């Protein structure tokens, strides 16, 4: 469920007509719903009721400061994967004891930053990282809680570019080597082994891969405890998918996911962490764009928008689908036209959809990409010297710009020309 609905023939974000936001800030822009973000966080929190747990929002899906502040105020932790994300989390008021640091390529600088500013744990992904973290912790005179990310070699049955739990993926250490690596970790100064980390991929639409991975984690927990390790926390990652196509079968609900966690690892007495991102922010955001031209091509028509692949790269990068709807509600039985929906960037890959049936549209009409709140604004760029587009947060009948559109002067003046040119 989201809070983007037609009311009196106009698409609204909660109680705000999106056309009013467009008139105020221009197009294209992203718009997020406070009610949807709040509801989705609470669904996960309630799904783990009865277990000692922390929902750590995966901020790589949407790292705007306002979204992070909202999550933090709700009691969420955050999962960060870079020093920049750590700085964003701290700036948004998330305390260090609720920040989990993941990622395969943590640098010494990032380690020092997090150890100095406060951290809940590091999810360690390799032996070289473990050795470096030990050195940094010792140099700072601190002891850092760690989990080791294990790769369970489970096929998440998702897009190959967002699968992370198979043996050929770059993430974690093979689960078959876990006992050896945990023994090394326990022997290193400055490190305190507290648990196990696993994450098998993103946009999972069925529970079986989770069940397979978590069964392996449960077995490993017993083995490591028998080896003398104090395994008290299980970080089970994220990855639960969202329904990008409304006509498709809906992915499992957070409540079903929570029941699976309780069934597979609930008996171990561990604190549970999960790291949802897409399911919290994905359907909480839309991208609003204007039609520049309707162009007749050879055997097809093109809907040319003012949004482009630099604003929403998922279709170009992943072949991803987004439902696209007009801001004015079509009449029942309205005539449909078929369009290739494209942006203005000079790339054939700047295509959002081919042969998409839509109500007939014309220059100046407004449309919305649904389910664009995750991996939209955070993956955008200024390719073709196109400014990053505004982000807007709605709450009830209020809206605020939470990231303004930069001016062309601001973009160009970031460059500097050497004196010798």
Query: Within a domain: residue 59?
Result: yes
Asked if residue 236 and residue 97 are part of one domain, the reply reads yes
Query: Within a domain: residue 419?
Result: no
pTM of the model: 0.94
Asked if residue 408 and residue 269 are part of one domain, the reply reads no
**pLDDT tens for residues 347-356?**
999 999 999 9
* pLDDT, mean of residues 18-30: 98
Report residue 266's pLDDT band, with 50, 70 and 90 as the boundaries: very high
Cα 15 from chain centre: 26
**pLDDT tens for residues 103-154?**
999 999 999 999 999 999 999 999 999 999 999 999 999 999 999 999 987 7
Residue 160 has pLDDT above 90, yes or no: no
pLDDT at 164: 47
CA distance 139 to 35: 45
Query: Within a domain: residue 420?
Result: no
Catalytic site residue from 31, 56, 270, 346: 346
pLDDT at 250: 80
Asked if residue 89 and residue 25 are part of one domain, the reply reads no
Query: Within a domain: residue 197?
Result: yes
pLDDT at 57: 98
Asked if residue 167 and residue 85 are part of one domain, the reply reads yes
Residue 56 annotated in active site: no
- Give percent of the chain above pLDDT 90: 85
Domain boundary among 230, 262, 281: 281
CA distance 169 to 239: 15
Residues 6+ apart with CB under 8 A from 33: 2, 3, 4, 13, 14, 284, 285, 394
Asked if residue 297 and residue 271 are part of one domain, the reply reads no
Domain boundary among 281, 298, 329: 281
Measured from the Cβ of residue 108, the count of other Cβ atoms closer than 10 Å reads: 12
pLDDT at 334: 83
Asked if residue 47 and residue 19 are part of one domain, the reply reads no
Report residue 244's pLDDT band, with 50, 70 and 90 as the boundaries: confident
Query: Within a domain: residue 54?
Result: yes
Query: Within a domain: residue 421?
Result: no
Residue 341 has pLDDT above 80, yes or no: yes
Asked if residue 144 and residue 78 are part of one domain, the reply reads yes
In terms of residue numbers, what domain contains 326?
Answer: 4-31+283-412
What CATH number is associated with residue 99? Answer: 3.20.20.10
Asked if residue 314 and residue 224 are part of one domain, the reply reads no
What CATH number is associated with residue 366? Answer: 2.40.37.10
Asked if residue 348 and residue 260 are part of one domain, the reply reads no
**pLDDT tens for residues 389-409?**
999 999 999 999 999 999 999
Domain boundary among 281, 312, 345: 281
Query: Within a domain: residue 418?
Result: no
Length of the chain: 421
Weakest-pLDDT range from 98-102, 228-232, 279-283, 297-301? 297-301
**pLDDT tens for residues 64-98?**
999 999 999 999 999 999 999 999 999 999 999 99
Strand pairing report for 324-326 and 366-369: antiparallel
Query: Within a domain: residue 128?
Result: yes
Mean pLDDT of the chain: 93
* pLDDT, mean of residues 1-9: 92
Asked if residue 323 and residue 310 are part of one domain, the reply reads yes
Asked if residue 287 and residue 277 are part of one domain, the reply reads no
Asked if residue 146 and residue 127 are part of one domain, the reply reads yes
CA distance 239 to 117: 28
Report residue 421's pLDDT band, with 50, 70 and 90 as the boundaries: very high
Number of domains, the chain: 2
């Amino acid at each position: 469920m989201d809070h983007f609905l037609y009311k009196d023939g106009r698409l609204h974000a909660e109680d705000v007509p999106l056309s009013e936001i467009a008139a105020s800030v221009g197009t294209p822009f992203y718009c997020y719903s406070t009610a949807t973000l709040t509801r989705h966080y609470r669904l996960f929190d309630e799904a783990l009721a009865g277990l000692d747990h922390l929902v750590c929002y995966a901020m790589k899906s949407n790292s705007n400061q306002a979204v992070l502040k909202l999550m933090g105020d709700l009691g969420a932790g955050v999962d960060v994967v870079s020093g920049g994300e750590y700085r964003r989390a701290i700036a948004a008021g998330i305390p260090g004891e609720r920040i989990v640091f993941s990622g395969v390529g943590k640098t010494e600088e990032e380690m020092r930053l997090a150890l100095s500013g406060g951290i809940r744990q590091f999810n360690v992904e390799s032996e070289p990282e473990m050795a470096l973290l030990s050195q940094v912790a010792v140099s700072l005179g601190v002891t850092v809680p760690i989990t080791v990310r294990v790769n369970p070699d489970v096929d998440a049955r998702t897009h190959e570019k967002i699968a992370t739990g198979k043996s050929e993926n770059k993430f974690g250490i093979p689960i078959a080597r876990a006992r050896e690596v945990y023994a090394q970790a326990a022997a290193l100064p400055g490190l305190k082994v507290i648990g196990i980390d696993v994450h098998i991929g993103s946009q999972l639409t069925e529970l079986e891969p989770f069940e397979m991975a978590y069964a392996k984690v449960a077995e490993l927990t017993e083995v490591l405890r028998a080896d003398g390790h104090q395994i008290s926390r299980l970080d089970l990652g994220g990855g639960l998918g969202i329904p990008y196509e409304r006509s498709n079968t809906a992915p499992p609900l957070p409540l079903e996911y929570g029941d699976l966690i309780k069934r597979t690892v609930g008996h171990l007495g561990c604190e549970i962490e999960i790291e949802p991102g897409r399911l919290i922010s994905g359907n909480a955001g839309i991208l609003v764009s204007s039609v520049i031209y309707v162009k007749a091509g050879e055997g097809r028509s093109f809907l040319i928008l003012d949004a482009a692949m630099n604003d929403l790269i998922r279709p170009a990068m992943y072949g991803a689908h987004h439902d696209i709807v007009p801001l004015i509600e079509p009449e029942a039985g309205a005539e449909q036209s078929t369009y290739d929906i494209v942006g203005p960037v000079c790339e054939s890959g700047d295509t959002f959809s081919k042969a998409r049936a839509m109500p007939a549209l014309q220059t100046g009409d407004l449309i919305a990409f649904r389910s664009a709140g995750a991996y939209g604004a955070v993956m955008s760029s200024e390719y073709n010297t196109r400014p990053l587009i505004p982000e807007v947060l709605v709450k009830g009948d209020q809206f605020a710009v939470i990231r303004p559109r930069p001016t062309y002067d601001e973009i160009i003046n970031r460059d500097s020309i050497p004196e010798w040119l």
